[in-house]
C-alpha cells in the first residue's frame, strides 16, 4: 500500500514568520493606505489565524474593520486584498534576490528529525502550502531536500482549496493508499477529515495547541514507521 505523507510548510517544517513580516513591511512602502506601525508581536498574534497572504491586508490596512482575528476565515477577499497579494509576492521576489534571504527561514526540530527520511524516500513526501512554490523550493534545496512534490499557492488558487488540490493530485481520498496530513493550524485539518487516514496537528507551529495536538517527537516517530513499512 503506497503512503502519502502530506506536510504543511510554514509552521511545520520552517518558522517563516519573520520572513513574512519582512515582506509585509516592504509592501507598506509601496501602498499608501497601509499601517507602518505593525510590530512583530502584533504580527505574530495575527499570524495564528492566517490562511492566505491576502489576509495580511486586513491587519495592515488603515481602513480594516476586523477586530476579531478568529473570524478571519469567514471573510472573502475583495479587490484591495488581492492587490495586496500581488504586491506581497512581488516584494518577496525582490527580497529573495538577497543571498541572505535563506537565513530568514528557520528549520524546526521536526525538520531535522525527518530530513533523512525525506532524502531517502522523496516520493512519499508532499508539500501542501499557500506559500508560493518558488520560495518553498529554494528553502528546501538550501536545506538539502530535492525532488519532492510541492503544491504551492499558485496551484491551490487554481483548485480553490488545499483539499481539492490534494485530491486532484491523488495525495488523499483513495482507499488503496494510506495518507497522513500534518498541519499546525487545527482549522486547516477539518476539511480533510473524510479524505485522510491520519490527521496530525503539530503543537510547535503558529496555531494554538490543544489536547489533541501532537509533539514533534510523536509526529516524527509516526513518519519513521511509515517510511520503514514502505521499504519492506
Q: Both 130 and 60 in a single domain?
A: no
- Which helix (H) or strand (E) is 125 found in, with range? strand 125-128
Q: Both 52 and 41 in a single domain?
A: yes
**pLDDT at res. 43:** 96
- Domain region containing 53: 17-102
**pLDDT at res. 74:** 87
Q: Both 50 and 73 in a single domain?
A: yes
Q: Specify the number of domains making up the chain.
A: 2
Domain boundary among 102, 124, 139: 102
Q: What is the pLDDT of residues 66-97, one digit of tens each?
A: 878 888 888 999 999 999 999 999 999 999 99
DSSP label at residue 106: E
121: domain CATH number is 3.40.50.1000
Q: Both 190 and 177 in a single domain?
A: yes
Domain boundary among 81, 102, 123: 102
Grid cell at residue 131? 506559500
- Specify the length of the chain in residues: 232
Q: Both 94 and 130 in a single domain?
A: no
Residue ranges in 76-209 assigned as alpha helix (H):
79-95, 109-120, 133-142, 153-159, 162-168, 186-189
Q: Both 119 and 216 in a single domain?
A: yes
In whole angstroms, what is the distance from residue 25 CA to residue 39 CA?
A: 10
**pLDDT at res. 51:** 87
Q: Once rounded to an integer, what is the mean pLDDT over residues 137-144?
A: 98
In whole angstroms, what is the distance from residue 14 CA to residue 8 CA?
A: 9
In whole angstroms, what is the distance from residue 28 CA to residue 232 CA?
A: 53
Q: Both 161 and 54 in a single domain?
A: no
Q: Once rounded to an integer, what is the mean pLDDT over residues 164-193?
A: 94
User: pTM of the entire structure?
Assistant: 0.94
- Which helix (H) or strand (E) is 14 found in, with range? strand 14-15
How high is the mean pLDDT of the chain? 94
Q: Both 8 and 34 in a single domain?
A: no
Q: What is the pLDDT of residues 199-225, one digit of tens each?
A: 999 999 999 899 999 999 999 999 999
Residue 56 forms beta bridges with which residues?
Answer: none
Domain boundary among 102, 124, 142: 102
In whole angstroms, what is the distance from residue 205 CA to residue 107 CA?
A: 11
Q: Both 74 and 123 in a single domain?
A: no
Amino acid at each position: 500500500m503506497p503512503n502519502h505523507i502530506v506536510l504543511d510548510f510554514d509552521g511545520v517544517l520552517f518558522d517563516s514568520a519573520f520572513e513574512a513580516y519582512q515582506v509585509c513591511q516592504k509592501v507598506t512602502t509601496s501602498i499608501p493606505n497601509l499601517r507602518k506601525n505593525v510590530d512583530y508581536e502584533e504580527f505574530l498574534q495575527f499570524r495564528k489565524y492566517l490562511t492566505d497572504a491576502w489576509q495580511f491586508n486586513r491587519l495592515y490596512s488603515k481602513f480594516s474593520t476586523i477586530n476579531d482575528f478568529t473570524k478571519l476565515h469567514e471573510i472573502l477577499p475583495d479587490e484591495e486584498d488581492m492587490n495586496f497579494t500581488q504586491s506581497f509576492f512581488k516584494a518577496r521576489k525582490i527580497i529573495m534576490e538577497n543571498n541572505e534571504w535563506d537565513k530568514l527561514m528557520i528549520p524546526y526540530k521536526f525538520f531535522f528529525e525527518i530530513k533523512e527520511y525525506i532524502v531517502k524516500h522523496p516520493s512519499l513526501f508532499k508539500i501542501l502550502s499557500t506559500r508560493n512554490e518558488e520560495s518553498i523550493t529554494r528553502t528546501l534545496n538550501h536545506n538539502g531536500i530535492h525532488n519532492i512534490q510541492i503544491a504551492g499557492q499558485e496551484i491551490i488558487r487554481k483548485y480553490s482549496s488545499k483539499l481539492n488540490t490534494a485530491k486532484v493530485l491523488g495525495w488523499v481520498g483513495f482507499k488503496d493508499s494510506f495518507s497522513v496530513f500534518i498541519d499546525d493550524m487545527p482549522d486547516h485539518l477539518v476539511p480533510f477529515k473524510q479524505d485522510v487516514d491520519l490527521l496530525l496537528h503539530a503543537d510547535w507551529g503558529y496555531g494554538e495547541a490543544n489536547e489533541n495536538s501532537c509533539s514533534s517527537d510523536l509526529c516524527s516517530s509516526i513518519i519513521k514507521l511509515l517510511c520503514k513499512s514502505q521499504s519492506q
